[in-house]
Structure 1
Amino acid sequence: MRPHIPRSDDHWDDGGPRHRPPRRSLQIAANSPSRLLRAGQTGRCRHCGNRVDWYPRSDDRPIALHPAEAVAADVPPTCRWHLSGGVAHPHDDGSGWCRMPHTVLCPQQPSRSRADSTRLTSLRRELGLRSRHLIETGAFTPAPHTPLTAAPNSETKQPARPVVRILLVNYLGEDPIKNIRCTAQTRQRSCCTRPVLATLQGRWVLLPTQPRCGQLTLPNTHMAVYDLNLLPYAEQLRWRAQRCTTHATATAVPDLALTSWKPFDPLLHAEHLRTELPTPEPPSTGLHEARRE
């Protein structure tokens, strides 16, 4: 007669030991075109709240794609994207399936073409219903609309989307300077919450607008820019990689989020131009830097 062995998570029903494979963490190949972990490429649209997958393009700019694939015949040729090595490319790869930018299906964006297929119209309607459900249940709040004209006395405040000059190139940030966070993965496999801002800081200066080659000439105005060109070269590389001082030299640590920098275009981003220097803020105490991961 067999003795009764109580069942536990470490044994099967017959009492035999259960083999558990060792827990392995995600790793990125050294020759991978993208240094971003796949687990960190998901997010939600700030306009409709639906899920999107972020991928870097060949020019390192991010793009939000619809999570599911679609039949290529149902998607206009100009909206077909495919993935190769974790990088999104704006053309068809010859297969019967493709990916689409989220802006094509976003219910808060105007429809680009009246000749959309029945499948795209159905997907757009489904996302619209899901977005309304998220808003009604309080799970999502749409991003407020940013007016083109600044409010009175708003020029002297810290801009919500500053223009940062790194290595003689102007970039547009997604958040104020003090709110720009590190994108590295921590030991708990979560995104680092430390700020990029450290002891060595840049300065706010007024620089002339510089349109790109071939663009129309803008009026002779100056814009407020957070200039980092006086900092050491390694420090500017840390800012461009959007790493905190702890993960600045940790090359083996992957990223869990895309960098928020966008090449600044004075014509496309005219609403974010500020003609006066913002009011300086008191220096940070740096107490959050001491928190261990």
Structure 2
Amino acid sequence: MTRLGDLVVRKSYGGDVTFRVERIERSVAIIKGTEFRLLADAPLTDLLEVDPGSPGEKTERARIKATESVQRLRQDRQEMAERNQVAVQQWSSPAAQEQAYFEVPGKVLHLDGDERYLQKSLDLYEKLRVPVNGYYVNESAMPSVLYRLLPVVNPDIVVLTGHDGVLKNPPSRDLYNLTSYKNSKHFVEAVRVAREYERNFDTLTIVAGACQSHFEALLQAGANFASSPARVLIHALDPVYIAAKASLTSIRDTIHITDVLNQTISGTKGVGGIETRGSYRIGLPTLKDLSKLDIVPTM
């Protein structure tokens, strides 16, 4: 018998994606992808319980790609640290060749319409040492919440994500029309709010969208990166990889679009964007531990 919290696959889809049962309404289960930002419903008779150690093929490929992406981001950060040290030595006088520096990665404001995915995202930001303020916000409330948070958080990067999708029975069977999507109109409105707050695309980087979102409308509204060009499912952490890349790319450099998109699990079918400068800075000299500083008061 299927119960809340069970990991399941849909037999009708060949068991390719693993879901968690979120709610049961009579003979129908509301299920949520464990790796992909997919919220769906399915008859209980269509569900097959799976072992957590034996996910569906698509889910397993996504996990492998996710691990590789994190390793690549960590490698990029290590290479950046080495370049920074060389640069600092070139800037410093011969007497201060060992001069240390401090880092100022770009700050992220992440609004997520899914509480579980938000926590997974925050865990990854922490692993990558990316400063972030994360909030669980229903997609329809994102424009108003963002309007209040922007001047308080003053971020370098805004991430707007959650759940979306092409409707089964839309008012208009036109993929150019926002009414054909579950939440794209809310993401678009939130992007407009952010872009009105900061019009410079290099001063505020905006990453927006979820599964099957209206990619073109999000870019037209002012997003730097958005989903989903081919209207495919995107991985739960795809927006985080892009935000982390923006946070950890020097302001002297442009984020390499093909590089960052290839690091995502979904690739260019799931995410696209425009040329954008990074948000990472270094400073001199290194910050002191004030508790150990021997100071003679002058006042």
Give the TM bin, normalised by the shorter chain: under 0.3
TM-score (norm 1): 0.24
Relative to its length, the structure with more helix (as a share) is: 2
TM-score (norm 2): 0.23
